[in-house]
Structure 1
Amino acid sequence: MKGTLVSLSTPVVMGILNVTPDSFYADSRKQTEAAIEERIRTILSEGAQIIDIGGYSSRPDAAEVSLEEEMERLAFALDILNAHYPEAIVSVDTFRAGVARECVEEYGVAMINDISGGELDAGMFATVANLKVPYIMMHMRGTPQTMQQYTGYTDMMEEIMLYFASKVRELRLLGVNDIILDPGFGFSKNVDQNYQLMNHLQEFGVFGLPLLVGISRKSMIYKYLGGSPAESLNGTTVLNTIALMNGADILRVHDVKAAVEAVKLVTKTVNCQLSTINS
């Protein structure tokens, strides 16, 4: 990515930079130059290896944002990022091929994070193939505005696995080599389904592809425990730990320090188990 090979032999942390006015977690919204620069500095200083920048809120019932407005928000933040931290590895969170192309070609973004798995822009897969950048493909039904109307599954895991199998094949045929899977916690899944998904996370290992998990401060935590996104850091850390122990390679988070510590502790535990077995 961006000329740098990122090893996933140890899981890495992706820090969220929201440049939207309506993201579900109010404290994550950064819109002034000073706030954006401070957020970038915090993400990197706390140990994240990737910054994921988004200009279109994907929370349930989020307002529609035009392509022009999304790109304007992203360009403002990317100019700041490139001015202060030009070596940072950046992912753009967008489902629009045109936005993805401009961010990569004009601003040096290293990877594309598409919540729709190519479903919301028919040109996305061809664009990714042409740009030759890593592609994060998430499972979702419908749109951010309608996704919670599509939580009915005959067999949720079977349907998600078939979804990825079909799309991975399509991407491979186009020559896309670097694919990352995101099972889409909170997207077209109710609270119980999110925990079922977490319980079956290891099954995605059959694809032999990196796995990204994004559960940071989501409603699967506070709708079950009570409270709000602001009160969901502890729940986030618990679930991130479970995800790591079940095969997660990338954690997408608001709270980088806590996630980095979870990675260190889980990695230490696993390494100690291995050395005990080998001794």
Structure 2
Amino acid sequence: MDFEIMGVVNVTPDSFSDGGQFDDAAQAIAHGRRLAAEGAVILDVGGESTRPGADPVPAGDEAARVVPVVAGLRDVARVSIDTMKLDVAVAAVEAGASYVNDVTAFRHDPDLAGFVADRGLDCCLMHMLGEPRTMQRDPRYLDVVSEVKSFLVERMEAAVAAGVPESKIQLDPGIGFGKTMEHNLTLLARLDELTDLGRPLVIGTSRKTFIGRLTGRDVTERVHGTVATCVIALERGAQVFRVHDVAAVADALKVAAATFAAWPTKSPTSTTTS
């Protein structure tokens, strides 16, 4: 059971879990190196917070934050740029990024799809209800799984129409982005219903608010809850795990993957004696 860890490298003053800790380029690069050493094969560099209620960041400011970090990590691991803006993606790719992680699934800037296609980049398309400033204002679904699935199908079709090969696309159901705790838990429980889309599923549950609500833990103390959600998601078919606490998740998934591989495919035949 294969999986990849995507380590989070936030270069922002206001991210929900580690805002301001790594907003200096040198600190962010050192942090990315630590995450790679712990098992991250992708480093996801972001310069704009997407926490609920977050305000937009001008493209110039965002690019200035991320470009030095991307350049400093390009030889450490595969680098992803977490952005919805074409100008920022262009600057990051020129600095060494080879993957675009767009929380709007190319809705904010449709030209970003064409750029991804032209450069032969990999990308992640995520479901989000509304935008960061509004996404947690009373989110409602008739069936969260079927609606997320339909959205991902539509956005994948739009990306392919723009020239992005389907083989370059990964899909993220957007845990915590315009969802209640119940929506998040339902998505995790029924994640296997998204695997028939035929693309790797990316899961980003790390330190999310719903884990805090379930455990009563502060954002800095949610590693154990994050590990639990990642193990569940692995069993349900997820392949890429976007996390802050790389070592803990990597170790848990190695053990879980080995255990799942050893599970019998069917129950052994029972015998009875009279």
Q: Does the TM-score normalized on the shorter chain lie above 0.5? A: yes
Identify which of 41, 51, 54 aligns with 2:43: 51
The runs of at least 4 aligned residues of structure 1 exceeding 3 Å deviation read: 274-277
Q: CA RMSD in A?
A: 1.9
1:226 pairs with 203, 216, 230, which one? 216
**Residue 35 (structure 1) aligned with residue 27 (structure 2):** yes
Over the matched positions of the two proteins, sequence identity in percent amounts to: 35
1:145-166 deviation line (CA, Å, top 9, x unaligned): 1111261112222211111111
Q: Given the superposition, is the C-alpha separation of residues 80 and 148 from structure 1 closer, same or farther in structure 2, using an over 3 Å criterion?
A: same
Q: Which runs of 5+ in 2 are unaligned?
A: 268-274
**Structure 1: gaps spanning 5 or more residues:** 1-8
Distance 1:274 1:130, change over 3 A: farther
Q: Return the alpha-carbon distance in structure 2 between the equivalents of residues 26 and 164 of structure 1.
A: 29
Mapped to 2, the partners of 1:33 and 1:166 lie a distance apart of 37
Is 1:167 the counterpart of 2:173? The answer is no
Q: Does 1:25 align with 2:17?
A: yes
TM-score for both structures, normalised by structure 2: 0.91
1:20 Cα shift? 0.3
2:77 to 88, 98, 107: 88
How many Å separate the matches in 2 of 1:196 and 1:14? Answer: 23
- Give the structure 2 partner of residue 100 of structure 1: 89
The aligned amino acid for 2:17 is Y
Q: Which residue of 1 aligns with 2:271?
A: none
Q: Secondary structure at the match of 1:26?
A: coil
Q: How far is the alpha carbon of 1:258 from its aligned partner?
A: 0.8
Cα separation, partners in 2 of 1:51 and 1:169, compared to 1, 3 Å? same
2:270 alignment counterpart: none
Asked if structure 1 preserves the Cα contact closer than 8 Å seen for 2:44 and 2:81, the reply is yes
- In 2, the alpha carbon distance for the partners of 1:155 and 1:273 equals 31
Query: Secondary structure of the residue that 1:263 maps to in structure 2?
Result: helix
Match of 1:64 among 51, 56, 81: 56
Is the CA contact 2:126–2:173 (under 8 Å) kept in the aligned structure 1? yes
Kept in 2, the 8 Å contact 1:12–1:250? The answer is yes
3-state DSSP of counterpart to 1:261: helix
Aligned to 1:141: 129
Asked if the contact 2:73/2:79 (under 8 Å) is kept, the reply is no
Contact kept, 8 Å, 1:23 with 1:29, in 2: the verdict is no
* Aligned match of 1:3: none
Distance 2:218 2:20 in 1: 14
Partner of 1:188, secondary structure, is: coil
**1:153-208 deviations in Å (ceiling 9; x for gaps):** 12222211111111212222333121100000000101111101111100111111
Question: Which structure has the greater CA radius of gyration?
Answer: 2
Q: Which of these residues, 141, 159, 168, is aligned with residue 153 of structure 1?
A: 141
Paired AA for residue 212 in structure 1 = V
1-side partners of 2:134 and 2:19: how far apart? 25
Alignment correspondent of 1:6: none
Q: Which amino acid is the alignment partner of residue 112 of structure 2?
A: M
Residues 28 and 254, structure 1, Cα contact 8 Å, conserved in 2 = no
Q: How far, CA to CA, are the matches of 1:186 and 1:262 in structure 2?
A: 22
Mapping 1:205-244, distance limit 5 Å: 205-244=195-234
The separation in 1 between residues aligned to 2:124 and 2:35, in whole angstroms, is 20
Residue 272 of structure 1 corresponds to which residue in structure 2? 262
> How far off its partner does 1:224 sit?
2.2
